Structure 1
């Protein structure tokens, strides 16, 4: 892979090549990507989607929206820092093609801003609820009508693949979705493979999948334009990661490690002094002890340690990336950047506490169970309305459902059962936590 192709400004439907040196410096193409994402309805819906605590009523706990904004800020710094060094190493990118340090920051920032845009309500339990509706629930009835890969898309429903769908899906009058640059789409795709084969290796890019069968051709077009290295031949599609996807992943890792931990402290799920001790271990080589001891308020100490920890990890992630750049460009680097971190032990300790005290807390588990049931119920309602069986075809209830959800009506025209089902799943995933509750209450008549 080479940077000239990887930094492609091409957008869906372009007939002429976009050159970096011809870009308007007041509104660069990669910055346009950021603007299009932040003004999209899919991004706005993240304000009412779970990051740590489902349906949290406290104003200091992160939602998917605030988390995504913070990951984007971290990603921008990480991209700029890395871009500065890459341009020193590859000056022709600047001198011949016109790329600047901020281009790398803008690509990573935009991709990071969108990294959770396809996630269902109620966090990762929402993904599992959708998948298990088809693997263990009433959705099993569609298996014989689908190809193996189509069914795999459903039973292993993946927020990353749904995000790629949202960003690129053709809709009437809106060809190519948000029409982002291919560089940003490449950096967004952490898992550049289809749903099968499932986890064919221990390589980081094979851990999950990044596009549904409905967007297979679109992703192939993006991958070919960017010059991503093929990892599979024949009927199975897979590519090496876009190098900047490692930076997007690192920005996400930094934020959920440090900031979810902070949320746990603010919620009283993690003892303050105990937590501060773990953060100090992470930044002990960079802490200004005299400044730290001047801070008398726990919140101020926490904020200082959080900022220091994020800066420490940004600096190290950039160093690891640059050290391994050649292997990354060859498609031979198969770990996350923080698998190579000198702070790996401290990061694992913090994540372990977060899992035990936050993600597995009684409040989180209870709300995830409720969300699980609600999503399964809604999927049953929507599939019966769009793909009725027997007497269901004449059911007034299913007709009323379709009237109440106009977003599903275009799917009636789809001839393919798969297109209808993946469309239903994508719509259900677009619901916020609150909208899921409201829809469930509307159809059941039960007030939660």
Structure 2
């Protein structure tokens, strides 16, 4: 891979109406409806009325800021290494800007109610799609295997690529039309749902694009000469995401009184969580954990009313700096493998930061993600998504076909936003009946996954309560 291909101003669509000044990825993103909707989508705690805890919007802003910092660190290190002539001919801003923008949109495809919403959508397709029919044929007999796997493996990352490339923006049908550098950076898993199941030699955990976006994925991969691999910036974006959500989850959980400071230190003191690390790394990890205790004691001496919370907030700032450095250094360490498309690890593997992240993950799984405060609203969110899919999907299946729709089905389709129906008609033009069916199913999925938490709740209450 070469940076003169990887950092590219190429867009999937040429827009003769816009000048170079107007075509700015950052401006396009922050002025968009989809980006604004992130303010009412959960990061960890759905339907929360506390304006302190993170939403998808504030999380995305933090990922964007951290991604930019990692990019700046890596750029200057690679320039010092004479890694590529590109770094002498271009600026740090050109290298970091794609990360700045990718951080803003990396979660834009996530449905309401966080990751639980993803599970709810997958569950619905796995359990209920086989009951749906078009005419005398079951839907699962009409769609091909790839299309079915897209639905069974619904994924926020793949949905982000879809929405950014297909939803109309200011009346234009070609979506946000972001640069390939930004789109390449958000594709964490360069694999289809079909290959995820049948040809996954790199052991990817999730898919990265739908059947419907295959042409776009191929064009990005070809133009940037990725050869089926990940864009190098995607590793830095992944690290920024890990840093942002792991540290913020601790803080938000304390604000929600889901955990307290003694519980954090109790988990962090479990030596087996980093006992297998090399001696140098064990010393580093202990230093970072000791620093948390030092900050806490400082807050107690100051008679801070919220000593534990303030200590975690201060420590988060400290440890984020450590993690940014470790992620950047790991990128440099594995640079040749990454540029050859052969690196399959994580930038935090075998680093002190990686062990700290594992400890936070352990704490989160044990006390935060399983808390009743979180799970009660998630289960309510599951009911909402299940009910909405069950209501809209049968009507969408017969929509725009020769099959007779009932009066209720017609009114149900009328309820779907014209935004998504026009998106369907634009995509479906000239397609086979099989592909049209697949796209109608995506129309409903796009509509429901695009809802904010509170809008989904409101619609559910209007229809079913």
2:245 corresponds to: 256
1:92 corresponds to: 85
CA RMSD of aligned residues (A): 2.8
Q: In the TM superposition, what is the alpha-carbon distance from 1:198 to its structure 2 partner?
A: 2.2
Query: For residues 38-92 of structure 1, what are the alpha-carbon distances to aligned partners after superposition, in whole Å with 9 as ceiling and x for unaligned?
Result: 2211111111111111111112111111111111111110111111112232362
Q: In the TM superposition, what is the alpha-carbon distance from 1:404 to its structure 2 partner?
A: 2.5
Contact persistence 1:170–1:176 (CA under 8 A): yes
Q: Does 1:421 align with 2:441?
A: yes
Contact persistence 1:279–1:305 (CA under 8 A): no
Q: Does 1:430 align with 2:423?
A: no
Residue from 399, 402, 410 that aligns with 2:422: 410
1:41 corresponds to: 33
Contact persistence 1:82–1:104 (CA under 8 A): no
Q: Distance in 2 between matches of 1:290 and 1:49?
A: 35
Q: Distance in 2 between matches of 1:289 and 1:359?
A: 24
1:103 corresponds to: 94
Q: Distance in 2 between matches of 1:288 and 1:441?
A: 45
Q: In the TM superposition, what is the alpha-carbon distance from 1:134 to its structure 2 partner?
A: 1.6
1:312 corresponds to: 322
How many pairs were matched up?
423
Query: For residues 184-226 of structure 1, what are the alpha-carbon distances to aligned partners after superposition, in whole Å with 9 as ceiling and x for unaligned?
Result: 111111011111122544736x221111111100110111111
Give the 5 Å matches for 1:46-445. Answer: 46-88=38-80, 89-90=82-83, 92-95=85-88, 98-138=89-129, 140-141=131-132, 142-169=139-166, 171=168, 173-198=171-196, 200-201=199-200, 203=202, 206-229=204-227, 239-275=228-264, 282=285, 284-285=287-288, 287=291, 293-295=297-299, 296=302, 297=304, 298=307, 299-388=309-398, 393-407=404-418, 408-410=420-422, 413=425, 414=428, 415=433, 416-444=436-464
Q: Distance in 1 between matches of 2:424 and 2:4?
A: 43
* Residues 1:343 and 1:226: Cα distance change in structure 2 (over 3 Å): same
Q: Distance in 2 between matches of 1:291 and 1:145?
A: 61
Q: In the TM superposition, what is the alpha-carbon distance from 1:137 to its structure 2 partner?
A: 1.6
* Residues 1:275 and 1:308: Cα distance change in structure 2 (over 3 Å): same
Q: In the TM superposition, what is the alpha-carbon distance from 1:356 to its structure 2 partner?
A: 1.6
Q: In the TM superposition, what is the alpha-carbon distance from 1:35 to its structure 2 partner?
A: 2.0
* Residues 1:9 and 1:394: Cα distance change in structure 2 (over 3 Å): closer
Identify which range, 309-318 or 335-344, moves more after superposition.
335-344
Q: Which runs of 5+ in 2 are unaligned?
A: 133-138, 270-283
TM-score (norm: length of structure 2): 0.84
Query: For residues 99-152 of structure 1, what are the alpha-carbon distances to aligned partners after superposition, in whole Å with 9 as ceiling and x for unaligned?
Result: 211222211111111110000111112112111212112455321110100010
Q: Distance in 2 between matches of 1:404 and 1:301?
A: 49
Q: Distance in 1 between matches of 2:410 and 2:423?
A: 14
Q: In the TM superposition, what is the alpha-carbon distance from 1:374 to its structure 2 partner?
A: 1.3
Q: Which runs of 5+ in 1 are unaligned?
A: 17-22, 230-238
SS in 2 for 1:209: coil
Identify which range, 187-196 or 343-352, moves more after superposition.
343-352
Q: In the TM superposition, what is the alpha-carbon distance from 1:397 to its structure 2 partner?
A: 2.1
Contact persistence 1:194–1:209 (CA under 8 A): yes
